[in-house]
Amino acid sequence: MYLKVINFIKDLYGTPDFVPLSVPKFIGNEKKYLEECIDSTYVSSVGPFVDRFEKDMAAYTGAARAVVCVNGTNALHMALMLAGVERNDEVLTQALSFIATCNAIAYIGALPVFLDVDDSTMGLSPDAVKAWLARNGELRNGQCYDKATGRRIKACVPMHTFGHPVRIEELAAVCAEWHIELVEDAAESVGSRYKGTHTGLFGKIGVLSFNGNKTITTGGGGMLLFRDEELGARAKHLTTQAKIPHRWEFRHDSIGYNYRMPNINAALGCAQLEHLDEYIADKRATAAAYAEYFSNIDGIRFFTEPEGAFSNYWLNAVILPDHDRQQLFLQETNDNGVMTRPIWEIMNRLPMFAHCRHDSLENTVRFADRVVNIPSSVRCL
Ligand X SMILES: Cc1ncc(COP(=O)(O)O)c(C=O)c1O
By CB under 6 A, residue 50 contacts ligand X: no
| Residues 185, 188: Cα–Cα separation, whole Å | 8
In the complex, what is the shortest distance from the CB of residue 314 to ligand X, in angstroms, rounded to a whole number?
A: 9
* Dist CA 377 CA 337 (whole Å): 15
Contact partners, residue 229, CB within 8 Å, separation at least 6: 64, 65
Nearer to ligand X, 73 or 136 (CB): 73
- Asked whether the beta carbons of 209 and 187 are under 8 A apart, the reply is yes
Written as one string, the DSSP assignment of 191-258 is T-EETTEETT-SSSEEEEE--TTSSS--SS-EEEEESSHHHHHHHHHHTBTTBPP-SS---BSS---B
CB under 8 Å to 69, separation ≥6 — which residues?
75, 78, 221, 222, 223, 224, 239, 259, 260, 261
Select the residue whose beta carbon is closest to ligand X and give its number.
72
Binding region for ligand X (CB under 6 A) out of 93-101, 163-171, 258-266, 361-369: 93-101
Indicate whether 240 belongs to the interface with ligand X (CB under 6 A). Answer: no
Q: Per rule CB under 6 A, is residue 159 in the interface with ligand X? A: yes
Name which position in 90, 188, 359, 369 contacts ligand X (CB under 6 A).
Answer: 188
178 versus 344: smaller Cβ distance to ligand X: 344
What's the start-to-end Cα distance of the chain, in Å?
32
Q: Which of 34, 53, 68, 73 binds ligand X (CB under 6 A)?
A: 73
- Mask for 95-124, x = binds ligand X (CB under 6 A): --xx-xx-----------------------
Provide DSSP, 349-367.
GSGGGTTS-B---HHHHHH
Q: Nearest-CA neighbor of 153 among 174, 167, 169?
A: 174
Q: Which of 22, 93, 94, 211 binds ligand X (CB under 6 A)?
A: 211
Around Cβ 147, how many Cβ atoms within 10 Å?
10
C-beta of 249: minimal distance to ligand X in Å?
32
- Closest C-alpha to 260, from 20, 77, 71: 71
Q: Does 272 bind ligand X (CB under 6 A)?
A: no
Cα distance between residue 124 and residue 364, in whole Å = 9
Does position 222 interact with ligand X (CB under 6 A)? The reply is yes
Least separation in angstroms between residue 188's CB and ligand X is 5
Whichever of 5 and 79 has its CB closer to ligand X, that residue is 79
Eight-state DSSP code of residue 108: T
CB-based contact 156:183 (threshold 8 Å):
yes
203 binds ligand X (CB under 6 A): no
Does 191 bind ligand X (CB under 6 A)? Our answer is no
Question: Is residue 22 a contact point for ligand X (CB under 6 A)?
Answer: no
The answer to whether 15 touches 345, Cβ cutoff 8 Å, is no
Find out whether 99 and 209 touch, Cβ atoms under 8 Å: no
- In the complex with ligand X, which residue's Cβ is closer, 148 or 352? 352
Binding string, residues 303-342; x marks residues near ligand X by CB under 6 A: ----------------------------------------
Q: Does 187 bind ligand X (CB under 6 A)?
A: yes
Binding segment for ligand X (CB under 6 A), chosen from 44-52, 60-68, 71-79, 83-91, is 71-79
Which region, judged by CB under 6 A, interacts with ligand X, from 184-192, 234-242, 248-256, 282-290?
Answer: 184-192
Stretch that binds ligand X, among 92-100, 239-247, 283-291, 327-335 (CB under 6 A): 92-100
Paired strand residues for 94: 115
Rounded least distance, CB 225 to ligand X, Å: 14
* Residue number, 19 or 223, with CB nearest to ligand X: 223
| Residue 372: closest CA among 275, 278, 299, 310 | 299
**Binding of ligand X by 206 (CB under 6 A):** no
Nearer to ligand X, 187 or 371 (CB): 187
From candidates 22, 61, 71, 265, binder to ligand X by CB under 6 A: 71
Instruction: List residues binding ligand X (CB under 6 A).
Output: 71-73, 76, 97-98, 100-101, 159, 185, 187-188, 209, 211, 222
